[in-house]
Structure 1
């Protein structure tokens, strides 16, 4: 099945994959003992969920950049230009999306402890225990197939949407069009607008291929979809039918969400043979030679002897065969926390390019595991 059709299937739940349902895009094949049991198709929902906003009509079709984009899309993808004009006449400008993607005000200090308290909270922990218990089989299969521990998968889905409770009620086309042509002033503004234009084009393609109204699609303020909040391009590349239903549905199928997150991490550098913790609490010396190791990209590049020589120490020995990155978690006016993170921690940052995000996934997953009675 073409990838764009596959992406639409996730949203609509209409694709039939047959044998392809048992093989994911990265060549992993489920052995017979791990094949999921077929499930009865879920009842169809009545129409799209309501939106959370009114939006502003700005007549995007009159914008020079939008007209040029639509000309290109019509030529490249064979759309009728008149149909695109009609669609743009119904798109709304979403100021809330613009405000939400703006960088933090200059001088406002980051605060990991405050951020962590918002994410690793009793609601997510309690719902995480329930999610883990209800989806234990899928989590065990994903760990066996991809090598991703259950607590990491539970952590990501919990951080993203509280296990499907907050998947977004914005019209995807409104959000993507607004950010594609009215992204706020910020570093790399041009690159960000190009990214959202690509996602908008993908949305138009899969809507056409499946005969649906693109305005019916719902997601986050940035156009992310389903329990794991995949952007459309990630849906095309990494989404898998993990529950054996014959279709991919990241909005309603916990199994598909679990398998797809695992496929994403496996494709972005997760190493099943690393073992041990992803992070180790670290102390740094006053000589500050270690400062050169901060902000060296989302990668683990230093070995334990190098870190020790620069004045970085840990309370417990770290495996010397692994490489690490030095992660700094700022706490506002309080002292910064330092951690050594291995390659699997940085695989999580490919999901969201933030130390805070990756650490919150690690801590939420660990909290849920302990709440279930795990060690």
Structure 2
């Protein structure tokens, strides 16, 4: 992981929703939070991993002890790991001896454990700082080149899925700078580590169950794709390829968009483009909504609008509901459409507000963060404006 990405990763847990847990309230990330947040939120089912395989409760509740979860841990000697392997072998027909041999090669990754730990509280979230990190010249220049190179495929995806090219380009740019930073961890190593040695946290049991499901998905994906399981490389949380899909998301939403007989999100930009569009459509993207994804908003001093905030990642309110709550905009909102109110804190400076549409909230299903969705939108816009 490059130094810049590491800096982004280390501050992620300032956002309560960056924990990749099944939380429902939307959150915002700190300026340096992107890399770690994307992997976590993707782990969440934001992003995408809605296809995680169910893990038996008895297995999911078992974890390595603190003494076992050290640098010298040997997963092949863990009762929990071996019970999990028994279940996977029965459920999917994997030869048990082959699983045993594979587990013997899997290593504990302390870096993954450290990066999923919550960061100390207290640092205020700052949208302007965050946007300066994610919407910057390197990504914009790379995005222009990516769009120019794949203009025909992006146009096809926009026509077939109804997702604008700039949104697809924005997501892949924010995620990995168009494949430049896809992660160097062996996916099976980090998924096994987080599935069986997740650090102490209030949501530890849920997180371990999630990662065990994704470990199972990774094994199924490797067999389905006819690739060596240990050759899968990704983020510290197991996200794969240009769009950083968790293994379950590849199985559920991945698209063979270049029609070569396989889904390759690591080496095929065409498959990545189609898969991002597929994910968004299956998470609420409305092709018929062709206007802006967000509108500028002002809020009244009486703060009646506070009840409209944090109402889930969905557009629930009519324009008249927003007006009654003291929310105004200079734009003309489309009739017969629902909206949500989002806030973008700026540390000590005034918070910004936006009126968000269904399609904005579809992006938050990719990563459960207002900051993330706004950065995708603004990066895509900047790239479009910088194209010849």
Bin for the TM-score computed over the shorter chain = 0.7 to 0.9
* Map 1:1-375 → 2, pairs under 5 A: 56-208=71-223, 212-373=227-388
CA RMSD of aligned residues (A): 1.7
Deviations 1:189-216 (A, max 9, x none): 2122111101111222333456543112
Question: Which 10-residue stretch deviates more, 59-68 or 168-177?
Answer: 59-68
- TM-score (structure 1 length as normaliser): 0.81
Distance 1:140 1:213, change over 3 A: closer
SS state at 2:205 partner:
helix
Question: Which 10-residue stretch deviates more, 214-223 or 342-351?
Answer: 214-223
Q: Which position in structure 2 is the counterpart of 1:38?
A: none
Q: Which position in structure 1 is the counterpart of 2:35?
A: none
Q: Which position in structure 2 is the counterpart of 1:28?
A: none
CA distance in structure 2 between the partners assigned to 1:99 and 1:71 by the alignment: 29
CA distance in structure 1 between the partners assigned to 2:229 and 2:72 by the alignment: 17
**How far apart are 1:101 and its partner, in Å?**
1.9
**How far apart are 1:168 and its partner, in Å?**
1.2
Deviations 1:158-202 (A, max 9, x none): 011101111111100001001111222334221221111011112
Given that residues 111 and 332 in structure 1 are in contact (C-alpha distance below 8 angstroms), is that contact kept between their aligned partners in structure 2?
Answer: yes
Question: Which 10-residue stretch deviates more, 137-146 or 214-223?
Answer: 214-223
Given that residues 59 and 88 in structure 1 are in contact (C-alpha distance below 8 angstroms), is that contact kept between their aligned partners in structure 2?
Answer: no
Deviations 1:226-256 (A, max 9, x none): 1111111111111112223343221121111
Distance 1:192 1:244, change over 3 A: same
- TM-score (structure 2 length as normaliser): 0.79
Given that residues 57 and 91 in structure 1 are in contact (C-alpha distance below 8 angstroms), is that contact kept between their aligned partners in structure 2?
Answer: no
SS state at 2:218 partner:
helix
**How far apart are 1:326 and its partner, in Å?**
0.7
CA distance in structure 1 between the partners assigned to 2:262 and 2:93 by the alignment: 27
Given that residues 112 and 329 in structure 1 are in contact (C-alpha distance below 8 angstroms), is that contact kept between their aligned partners in structure 2?
Answer: yes
CA distance in structure 2 between the partners assigned to 1:143 and 1:371 by the alignment: 19
CA distance in structure 2 between the partners assigned to 1:217 and 1:254 by the alignment: 17
**How far apart are 1:339 and its partner, in Å?**
0.6
SS state at 1:280 partner:
strand
CA distance in structure 2 between the partners assigned to 1:337 and 1:61 by the alignment: 51
CA distance in structure 1 between the partners assigned to 2:87 and 2:261 by the alignment: 35
Given that residues 221 and 251 in structure 2 are in contact (C-alpha distance below 8 angstroms), is that contact kept between their aligned partners in structure 1?
Answer: no
Gaps of 5+ in 2: 1-69
**How far apart are 1:78 and its partner, in Å?**
3.1
Question: What is the number of residues matched between the two proteins?
Answer: 319
SS state at 2:337 partner:
coil
Deviations 1:315-360 (A, max 9, x none): 2222232111111111112211111100000000111111111111
Distance 1:285 1:303, change over 3 A: same
CA distance in structure 2 between the partners assigned to 1:211 and 1:313 by the alignment: 54
SS state at 2:270 partner:
helix
CA distance in structure 1 between the partners assigned to 2:162 and 2:225 by the alignment: 34
